[in-house]
Amino acid sequence: MAGIESAYRDVDVSHAVEIVPRVWWVGAIDQGILQSHAYLIEQGDNSALIDLGSKLTFSTTLRKINEVVSFDSIRYFICHHTAPYVAGALPLLEQ
């Protein structure tokens, strides 16, 4: 694990982070205990967002998404379970 940690030590998590080609981490790490690990699969007008995060972190996630693609290009929203830190922002999609 130390090798992985050292490889990402200098990554600027205030922006979208490309993990592999066309797969981006767009989550949020609060200085407190709150984290969200949202992932964007970049595929033009058929992009997908996995685990939107909470209502408290979604503005950060949205900003990072827009660094990569327009939010309107996301066609699929995938939440792997219903915990608030994973799917809490889901109601915001209706706004």
Domain count for the chain: 1
In a domain, 4, yes or no: no
Q: What is the pTM of this model?
A: 0.84
- pLDDT at residue 6, as a whole number: 57
CATH of the domain at 19: 3.60.15.10
Domain that holds residue 82: 12-94
- pLDDT at residue 84, as a whole number: 74
pLDDT tens-digit profile of 23-80? 999 999 876 777 889 999 999 999 999 998 888 889 999 999 999 999 999 999 988 8
> How far is the CA of 62 from the CAs of 6, 14, 18, 34, 49, in angstroms?
28, 12, 16, 17, 10
Residue 1 predicted with pLDDT over 50 = no
- pLDDT at residue 25, as a whole number: 96
In a domain, 7, yes or no: no
